[in-house]
Chain A
Amino acid sequence: MNPNLTRVTGFVGFALLVVLVFLLPEWISTFRAQQFAYVGIYLIALLGLNILTGYTGQISLGHGAFMAIGGYTTALLMAGNEQFGQEGLLGIGGGMKDVWTIPIAGLVAGLFGLAFGLPALRLSGLYLALATFAIAVALPSVVKRFEEFSGGGSGVNLFGLPELTAGIIPVDIAGRELVFNDWLYYLCWSIALVLFGIAWLILRGRTGRAFRAVRDSETAAVSSGVSLAHYKTLAFGISAAYAGVAGSLFAIATTFVNPDTFPIALSIFLLVGVVVGGLGGLSGLVVGAIFIQFLPLWAQGEGVASRLPGFIVDRTKEPGAPAIIYGIVLILLMFFLPNGVGGLFRRAGQTLTRWRYSRSG
């Protein structure tokens, strides 16, 4: 396919996405806006995970843990932990405005990612997946172990804090009043779109080529002068930083963190989201994020699914049915779209180009 044409379609597609994102709240209720804010949050996490898994070929089953690190960074910087009885060195006083904690959360999670990237160098494939899984499994216990620092199982509540930009009282942004849900929506999606652009910039150049080289063949990459250590840890760092930002926004949107808000299931959902969205592509991830947020609801017969014929909706109310529906949809998706939604986009693009050239030629 003509590379210029691809780029133009890409830019047009992205511009359309931006316009759509900022017009969407006009057509949906503020509650739906909140749900779509979570789509934006998942999109950020998926972008990061795809840099690691889709482009660099390192499977992570523990990205929920990096989100937790970001979420807790934000929560503690906002609420402080003196309320749990901690003083001295780790006695964080809190009082930071929510938006300023977001970059810090990304940074902290990114540092953790870099640190984890070093031992991960020795592991590959399934072994790495298991090691990352171990972090996700261990994290809730670790958080509960340091109860005075983290608030333990009862977690940290953020609702009603003055550090939260919007709460019950709407926020005034450039002369416009935004209720909490709309504010969340714009906050999450502004950051998601910027990070989308940054991911694209990282991946299109030298770094992205090195990532792909590592994924396709480590031996070939090394013999072409790509430093495995450098690029693998870098991928881990960037990916964890994305997860940290997502976790930070997750904490702000949920206005509550505790260890169970970042369960193992979240890490697995993220991997599912990347695979549904399409490994090694960015555009499909939007669909992957929608999938993570909405499929569990649709499987319960909520939202669009409530418009299905009555006898189907009734079935969804039976015990265990949502999980089965979720599984069936996932299997069907993988059956018909083995390369995810991104693969479908690519195929559609190729067909379009071929059709165009066969007509003009």
Chain B
Amino acid sequence: MRRQSALVALAVVSALALGALPGAFAGSTADPGITSTSIVLGGTSPLTGPAAAYASVARGAKAYFDSVNAKGGVAKRKLEYKIVDDAYNPAQSVQATRQLVEQDKVFAIFNSLGTEQNIAVREYLNQTKVPQLFVASGATTWGRDAVKYPWTIGFQPSYQAEGLVYGQYVSKTMKKAKIAVLLQNDDYGKDLLVGLKRGLARSGSKVVAAESYEVTAPDVQSQVAKLKSSGANVLAIFATPKFAIQAFVYANRLAWRPRIINNSVSGASNIMLLASEGGKNKSIEGAISLNFLKDPTDPKWKNDPGMKSYRSVMGKYAKGANVSDVYHVYGMAVAFETVSLFKRLGANPTRAGLLARARSITSPANPFLLPGIAVRTGKGDNFPIQQGQLQRWTKGKWAPFGGLWESDRL
């Protein structure tokens, strides 16, 4: 009896206290995050956790902003870019994004990385009318649901379009190919698979096996073994870098020599070099991948002005970072577009104005993207980059072949 009454008393006390105390209130008139001297942007990035390799995307962007700030910024405003770690966990992305919006009062959320990480905050950002600018993910939903979420805009080519290119490439160049697919068990992996299947439609080739893994899994050894036993002669790796490297290594250990398609998120040269095990890996030779960035390890760009400025910015503003990491180039490419976006916004940028401008980009040349790749958006077009170049891994480096593939045309 005593226990019960104590319980009731506890409940009553807390319930009373709940009602009796005042809460704070928030409210403001002008768009936050912008003053006459600064523009504050913020984004989440996996600085730790299973996808920590992607942290370079944010670091590259920050280095570029710092270099622009050193030259006086945009219209005398310095670009401040706050990066918060979410460990690639969507629940942490939500908390970190709220921190950026509510505490750090950013002007826009920019370059946050990951498909589910961005889906988790999309509703929140759209309802609070904070721009979700240049999402670092190629999920199809950024384009498909553009009308429902007008405050969200993507950057890289969509994963479905990329898968479509691989499918069309296979149906053009091979007869009756049997394709085995290793995919990450989320929207990103599935989008690529859907695109691949669409590209294969009405050809004699087909997907004979698909094995998925969880991003938190330690390795993909058993998946690769199963895929080999399917008797496929093409292996499509739709996996993030750590797992893509494992897939190459295990395929080689099993003496499996299929033609390998490696998705662009793991296509960086430094990742391929790791996967090639110092030249000992026999399976990797001839692997193909779609690319849209200039590769910092490619000697072809030695005297390219864009890559020269890349190296000098890295040397000055990202000391100690790995210059050959192509994700830094991605970061600079997206930062470059952001800077030119703000340049065209005029003296008094607003969030709504930023969005309107981001929907009407026609940027013919981004010095960090492959020549010929345009950055374009329009009404209902939420993917600024829609072109890519197929390349083949030959003798320790990428060799491009064929013309540009364009997802509009496909």
Contacts and interface: CB of A to CB of B under 8 A. Distances in A.
Interface of A: 18, 22-23, 25-26, 29-35, 38, 137, 140-141, 144, 153-155, 157, 159-160, 167-168, 170, 173-179, 181-183, 186-187, 189-190, 193-194, 197-198, 201, 205, 250, 254-256, 258, 260-265, 296, 300, 302, 318-320, 322-323
B17 A190 contact: yes
Contact of A201 (B6, B95, B99): B6
Contacts of A159: 123-124, 127
Given A34-B98, A154-B119, A177 B103 contact: no
Given A18-B17, A153-B187, A255 B124 contact: yes
19 contacts: A18-B14, A18-B17, A30-B23, A140-B214, A144-B185, A154-B187, A155-B90, A155-B119, A157-B120, A160-B123, A160-B127, A167-B127, A178-B23, A256-B91, A258-B90, A258-B119, A260-B116, A265-B49, A265-B87
A179 B23 contact: yes
A347 B114 CA distance: 47
B215 interface: yes
B98 A31 contact: yes
A182 B23 contact: yes
B341 to A, nearest CB: 26
Given A186-B21, A319-B55, 12 more contacts: A18-B13, A18-B14, A154-B116, A159-B123, A168-B128, A173-B19, A189-B14, A197-B10, A254-B120, A256-B94, A256-B121, A296-B87
Contacts of A31: 98-99, 102-103
Nearest to A21: B17
B197 to A, nearest CB: 17
B315 to A, nearest CB: 17
B85 A258 contact: no
A306 to B, nearest CB: 12
Interface of B: 3, 6-7, 10-11, 13-15, 17-26, 47-49, 52, 55, 84-85, 87-91, 94-95, 98-99, 102-103, 116, 119-124, 127-128, 141, 185-187, 190, 214-216, 320
B47 A322 contact: yes
Q: Which of B13, B18, B99 has the most CB of A within 10 A?
A: B18
Contacts of B21: 22-23, 25-26, 176, 186
A14 to B, nearest CB: 9
A319 B47 contact: yes
A153 B185 contact: yes
Contacts of B49: 265
A190 B15 contact: yes
A140 B94 CA distance: 19
A192 B11 CA distance: 11
B99 to A, nearest CB: 6
Given A25-B23, A179-B23, A201-B7, A250 B17 contact: no
Contacts of A34: 95, 98, 102
Contacts of B91: 250, 254, 256, 260-262
Given A153-B116, A198-B7, A323-B48, A29 B19 contact: no
B26 A263 contact: no
Contacts of A183: 23
Given A22-B17, A173-B19, A201-B3, A194 B89 contact: no
A189 to B, nearest CB: 8
Closest 6 CB pairs of A and B: A174-B19, A261-B91, A182-B23, A153-B186, A178-B23, A31-B103
Contacts of A182: 23-24
B123 A157 contact: yes
A273 B216 CA distance: 21
Contact of B102 (A30, A262, A263): A30
Contacts of B20: 174
Given A168-B128, A173-B19, A179 B25 contact: yes
Contacts of B84: 300, 302
A30 B103 CA distance: 9
A34 B103 CA distance: 11
A159 B125 CA distance: 10
A197 B6 contact: yes
A178 B124 CA distance: 18
Contacts of A262: 91
A92 B95 CA distance: 28
A263 B127 contact: no
B127 A38 contact: no
B388 to A, nearest CB: 25
A240 B99 CA distance: 30
A265 B90 CA distance: 13
Contacts of B122: 157
Contacts of A160: 123, 127
Contacts of A302: 84
A194 B18 CA distance: 12
A197 B120 contact: no
Nearest to A14: B10
B48 A320 contact: yes
Nearest to A183: B23
A89 to B, nearest CB: 25
Contacts of B3: 201, 205
Given A30-B26, A153-B116, A173-B19, A263 B89 contact: yes
Contacts of B15: 190
A108 B151 CA distance: 37
A190 B119 contact: no
Contacts of A177: 23, 25
Contacts of B185: 141, 144, 153
B378 to A, nearest CB: 26
A155 B116 contact: yes
Contacts of A198: 7, 10
Given A155-B116, A173-B19, A256-B91, A181 B48 contact: no
Given A170-B25, A190-B18, A155 B120 contact: yes
Given A173-B18, A255-B124, A30 B116 contact: no
A302 B103 CA distance: 12
A176 B124 contact: no
Contacts of B25: 170, 177, 179
Contact of B216 (A32, A38, A186, A263): A263
A193 B24 contact: no
Contacts of A174: 18-20
A208 B269 CA distance: 60
Nearest to B119: A154
Contacts of A175: 19
Contacts of B88: 260
A176 B102 CA distance: 21
